[in-house]
Structure 1
Amino acid sequence: MAKKKGSKVRKKRHLLILEIGGVAVLAALVAGLVLYRNVFSDTRDAVLEEYMGLIEKKEYEKMYDLLDTASQESVHKEDFITRNKNIYEGIEAKDITLDIAEEQDTSQPLSYRVTMETLAGEVTYDGNTFFEKEKGTWRIVWDDSMIFPDLGKEDKVSVTSLEAKRGSIYDRNGVLLAGQGTVQSVGLVPGKMNVQAEEDIQGIAAILGTTQENIETQLAASWVKEDSFVPLKEMTQTQLDEPYTSPEGIATGASIQDKLLEYPGVLITEAESRVYPYGESTSHLLGYVQQINAEELEEMKDKGYDEQSVVGKSGLEKLYEDRLRAKEGYKISILDSQGNEKTALAMKPAEDGEEIHLTIDIQWQQKLYDAYKEDKSCSVVMNPKSGEVLALVSTPSFNSMDFVLGISQTKWDELNNNPDKPMYNRVRETWAPGSSFKPVTGAVGLTTGAFTAEEDFGASGLSWQKDESWGNYKVTTLHEYNGAVLKNALIYSDNIYFAKAALKIGADTFAKQLDKLGFGQDIPFDIGMTSSQYSNGDTFETEVQLADSGYGQGQVLVNPLHLACIYSAFFNEGNMISPYLEYQEGKNPSYWVENAFTPEAAATIYEDLKEVVSNPEGTGHSAAQVAGVALAGKTGTAEIKESQEDKDGTELGWFAVYNTEGLDGQTVLMLNMVEDVKGRGGSGYVVNKDVEVWNQVLAE
């Protein structure tokens, strides 16, 4: 509502009240007060305040009623309402305030200052308005300058959008991962189409995955002329180059682009779009943008979004929305009848979105995706000494461009009904770690003094139970060997050794140490990750569960990034690194958990894991064939089954692998998990895949 501010002093009137007495005199006094208010509140100031207050209420008809007779004769009510409505609502005028100079001569125009907020910022102007008194009431002598002083009858108020660009996302080496690019816009020029084009439209609709009705609706738009380009769908050049197969499933030998151009009137041109150059390999990480929906607009309208805004819907596009978003600018001007600018009233400059540089290395990201794209898997690559995350990959994947360009219902159903769940970001979830958890148990045991690295737990064969209290349950392992000490137990991945280790540590101490390592906590990372757990309850419920947990079974579920962070302590004298995703030159490493393990325990595990790869008996020995680096790490195969007797369960394969030399002194820790490796070599399947990845990265 309009407000009057400033130093204006209200006029005061003094009434002589005679004490005559009686109710009748009191009634007369009340009537006199009403008369006083009616006579003296109808000032020019009050009329102007009322007029300006009606603008924000959008009550333009009442504004018109405040005009004098001559003004109403010169401008028709409907024209007045339309002009004021279009201008004030077009500039989104609000928070209108008035500052009226005091004690002005009523024979002269009333001087005042108006301030209002608009979509282009604050507008302030000085006005001078004449008033006429009609039947004892002040009325406004109106012309167009009442809206803005420089506005003439034939002039227009123009609102111009100043375009801004959404911020781009880059990898650590400045490679574009998401940003402004071009796509191909497929459309029709009506004047070049066949006269009887119904069959053509049906054919085009089938190729584009839309309907005949939808195309006809777009062609019938009021703006469309014979020579207009009517856009129908945006596609990538890769999509256009794909072979075209008819709805009957017949391969035509032509590309989609060739098939479209067979129809008269089809035109393919370039259009600007948000693009993701690395497609499926980065889609889970980056997410995608789309036009804002009604629910989002309701939540975000106070931040300057409108119906045409494009917003991040998932991944980093959503996470960094406030920083990436383009903030359009606006300019409000008065134009003369020829379209020339007379006055610039306000301008809010456009603000491009921020450029964001990630720690991601697209080389690792893409190589891992290519290696595992046919699997249900997730991968984390990080520098364990700095905390820089070099890759986050989930497979199978989807293509962000499908959503940017407008995903069809058929494609959406295909993604959602796929049993391999391509929309599911596995890297954010938790999984049974199996033997990849054994180094953690070993480090906890050494740190707490539950046992030493040289302590021999004794031979137990291929199956073992603590005592008869376990009933028929036994822990099994795959290999027999001499000397049940920590190093050998890691080399042979001995389940029995680590079951005994967990029992030696004890339930309370093990739980306390795992809590210290971040179990049950949020991972300090930009992207939200599911918290790891070691039990479905508050602690280990049984001795068997405790024993199974020692080798990564039981109820242990670990997030891959979290497990990588725990492994990082082996590189940092027992301190667990804080992972980070946004590149910062010269950033000093920070620790999520200091003294997670003793320096001695961390160093022991680091050295022992070298043997898992270098020793011919080691479960990760296949990784020794990678030339140019020396690798170390730990495999893991987690059984997912209902009971020990269940023969139909599946297996998860793990490999946590790092280089101890090579890569020009850079240390890289890579951790991979693959579902359904049962019958495919277990964790050996993952080791072989990782060998391919390391060889490819080193070859470039």
Structure 2
Amino acid sequence: MGKKLTVILALAILLFLAGCQQQATPEDRLKEYIEHWNTGEFSEMYSAYLNTGTKEAYASEDFIERQQMLYEELAIENVEVSYTEPPEDAEWDTENPADFPVQVKMDTLAGPVEFEKTMTLLFEAQEETEAWFVEWDPSFIFEQLEKGDEVRVSTTKAERGEILDRNEQPIAINGTGFNIGVVPKSFTDAAAKEELAEILGISAASIDEKMGQSWVQEEQFVPIAKAAKTNTELLEKAAAIPGVTYQETAMREYPYGEALGHLSGYIGPITAEKLEELKDQGYTSTDSIGRRGLEQTLEERLHGANGVKILIDKQGEELTVAETPAENGETVILTIDAELQKSTFDAMEGEAGTSAAVDPNTGETLVLASSPAYDPNEYMLGISESRYKELTEDPLNPLFNRFGAAYAPGSTIKPVTAAIGMEAGTLDPAAGIQIDGATWQKDDSWGDYRVSRLHPEAPNPIDLNKALVYSDNIYFARQALEMGNEAFISGLQSFGFGEEVPFALELQTSQISNEGTLGSEGQLADTSFGQGQMLTNILHLASMYEPFLTDGIMYKPLLFMDEEKGQVWKDGLLSADNAETLRAGMRNVVVDGYAQSANSSTVKIAGKTGTAELKGAIGEEGQENGFFVAYDSESPDFILAMMIESIEDNGGSDYVAGFAAKVFEAHKTE
């Protein structure tokens, strides 16, 4: 009997305590609901917190699945929901609704969204639970949203930024081209279809596919392929076929074509792999992206950002929820002089080679050319297989960007060798040395190795001026030996060898040797006149001549007009007196030496030629690359460095000097 009484008393106490527990207030319930809201727990919000009327009006898919879908499609994140707290002495009547001001903030793909609404809680019984429940409708997703409304995203395409030269001449612009197409009613001849397919480099089946699209009408123009407006030959051939015509359309243009092809690069349709990589940056499957050259290097600056709107469609009426306007890509202005570059490219006459020109007083890059080249207009439009094969099989390799590569500079390095020797105090420019014969070696320890000279007729004694005029390898080899490894290597490093050129584009680093050291006296001798394992890129070679005009300063090479001009890269490379000595010597190279093709009657050109022999197989003659680095001695607006490959059958490096002279003469007459 005592045990039974104890159990009854315990139950009574539990019932009493349960009755004493305070019922959750509407504020308590709202807090819990908001916690789930902020973390996107829509299932819990629906099942445990929505009132009966809301559940009758909105099925779970209208609440749970729709919000989950919108959060994903609209990139909704950083949701912050809060409410305005009621007075501390607020009393709640279960017979009346409880209202709370609720503040909603979120980030979306179209920008931030923020609004305030009144949320109402009703006291009711659901199953065995009596509590306060939320009355909900779609306006708690977006303030203007009502039942039956659709939410959609509208995108405004950003304009791609343009690339201009220093004079704001167009290099890569949003211009126009042509759609080549047919009018089906007039295009019925099978032979005409085959002819069009052939000139466009596509199949007849692909023409049929485009003509068979559902929207095509007999008298309606059907686009088949695009063509740059510079491709007049293709346009004329196409228009001569019955039923074929062309219409103007918006298109990326590269007005200078091949002359700036390797520098400008081109754009093309974005690949699936690249789209996956860049999808968070606003790219879509219909976008184009930089594929080569500056179009690729500057992609982030040129692409811009598409505009995005989140819209509520109310059966024809549209309301904007959030909007981020389109941000067009930048207009990038280069230091390049497009007309000077075209003049230089044309002067090279399609020969395999490369050229660079720099302003010696600022470091601005005026020319950066690779020859031969491709037309970026052709690539941008989607090059045909036959044309691509033609380019890849061309022995001159027009797809190879030569200004990014490095080459043995040959005798063009001799003024640098002289500058290092003069500054080291081991080379007296006025002192002559006796050099006899066509070859020389220091002693028998050199074995079979000997230094050769091209002009053994040079009159003794040989001083620096004669050594430059006659490009005497033996003179410079002996000067390098006099300097010694340590001083010569240190001097070359002071001119930037072994160091990445601080430039906007990737260039192969100039090297003293493969290891950066000189392992023998023979290698030291070879390197003094630009052979051995020495390599330099063409832009660095042009920059290395700046100290001869600036009394010892080499500037950082620039590519963009908004960069600070005259940034010193290397300083104290040689004295004013030594610079003057080298300037006089390089003028004499053209007047008295073997760069006679540059001995112009209109421009007083100074410079240094160079020939670098690339060793062939045993018993075979090697290829020779010719160089000329030069400037107008009276008006040194720019230093031009030019290299032409395989000049062994064209009279040596004087062949290159003739090409360069055309550039200076054309510039003089502008």
Instruction: Report if TM-score (shorter chain) is over 0.5.
Output: yes
Deviation at 1:525, TM superposition (A): 1.4
Q: Aligned residue for 1:50?
A: 36
Q: In the aligned structure 2, how far is the partner of 1:461 from the partner of 1:414? A: 49
What is the aligned counterpart of 1:236 among 228, 244, 265? 228
User: Quick one: distance in 2 between partners of 1:494 and 1:381?
Assistant: 26
TM-score normalised to structure 2 length: 0.87
After TM superposition, the structure 1 = structure 2 runs for residues 294-693 of structure 1, keeping only pairs within 5 Å, are 294-337=272-315, 339-341=316-318, 343-479=319-455, 480-482=457-459, 483-584=461-562, 588-615=565-592, 618-627=593-602, 629-642=603-616, 646-661=619-634, 665=635, 667-693=637-663
What is the identity, as a one-letter code, of the residue corresponding to 1:634?
A: K
| 8 Å contact kept, 1:651–1:677 | yes
| Counterpart residue identity of residue 486, structure 2 | D
Aligned-partner Cα distance in 1 for 2:398–2:650: 21
What code does the residue aligned with 1:631 have? I
Offset, 1:690: 1.8
The residue identity in structure 1 corresponding to 2:523 is Q
Contact 2:406–2:537 (CA<8 Å) still a contact in 1? Answer: yes
Contact 1:373 1:397 in 2 (8 A): no
Which segment drifts farther, 298-307 or 158-167?
Answer: 298-307
Aligned letter for 2:429? Answer: A
In structure 2, the gaps of 5 or more residues are 1-5
Q: CA deviation at 1:639?
A: 0.9
Which deviations, in whole Å up to 9, do the C-alpha atoms of 1:126-171 show, x marking residues without a partner? 2334456422276654433233232233544343323322221111
| Correspondence for 2:109 among 119, 126, 130 | 119
User: Is the Cα–Cα contact under 8 Å of residues 47 and 139 in structure 1 kept in the other structure?
Assistant: no
Q: For residue 118 of structure 2, what is the aligned residue in structure 1?
A: 128
| Residue-pair matches, total | 643
Distance 1:534 1:66, change over 3 A: same
91, 96, 100: which is aligned to 2:74?
Answer: 91
Amino acid at match of 1:97: E
Separation of aligned partners in 1, 2:512 and 2:109: 54
Per-residue deviation, residues 663-685 of structure 1 (Å, max 9, x unmatched) = xx452211100111111111021
8 Å CA contact retained: 1:367, 1:696: yes
Cα distance in structure 2, aligned partners of 1:690 and 1:304: 46
Rounded Cα–Cα distance in structure 1 between residues aligned with 2:422 and 2:590: 22
Identity %: 36
Quick one: structure 1 residues 149 and 577, their matched pair in 2 at CA, closer, same or farther if it must change by over 3 Å? closer
Equivalents in 1 of 2:283, 2:647: separation in Å?
A: 47
Assess, with a 3 A threshold, how the Cα gap between structure 1 residues 198 and 599 changes in structure 2: closer, same or farther.
Answer: same
SS in 1 for 2:480: helix
1:114 maps to a residue whose letter is V
TM-score normalised per structure 1: 0.83
Aligned Cα root-mean-square deviation (Å): 3.4
Paired position in structure 2 for 1:13:
none
Moved more, 685-694 or 389-398: 685-694
Q: Distance in 1 between matches of 2:220 and 2:47?
A: 42
Say if 1:60 and 1:85, in contact at 8 Å, map to a contact too: no
- Kept in 1: contact 2:183–2:221 (CA 8 A): yes
Partner SS, residue 570 of structure 1: helix
Is this contact kept in 2: 1:276–1:401, CA < 8 A? yes
The structure 2 residue matched to 1:175, chosen from 169, 174, 178, is 169
Between 567-576 and 368-377, the greater mean CA deviation after superposition = 368-377
Which residue of the other structure, out of 257, 266, 280, is the alignment partner of 2:239? Answer: 257
TM-superposition CA deviations, 1:454-497 (whole Å, max 9, x none) = 12120222121111122222221121221211100110111111
* Change in 2 beyond 3 A, CA 1:658/1:118: same
Partner of residue 15, structure 1: none
Q: Give the 3-state SS of the residue equivalent to 2:179 in structure 1.
A: strand
User: Residues 154 and 41 from structure 1, CA distance in 2 versus in 1: closer, same or farther, beyond 3 angstroms?
Assistant: closer
Amino acid at match of 1:675: E
Structure 1 residue 206: Cα displacement: 3.8
Aligned to 1:3: none
3-state secondary structure, aligned to 1:406 = coil
Displacement after TM superposition at 1:626 (Å): 4.0
Equivalent AA in structure 1 for residue 662 of structure 2: E
Q: Secondary structure at the match of 1:43?
A: helix
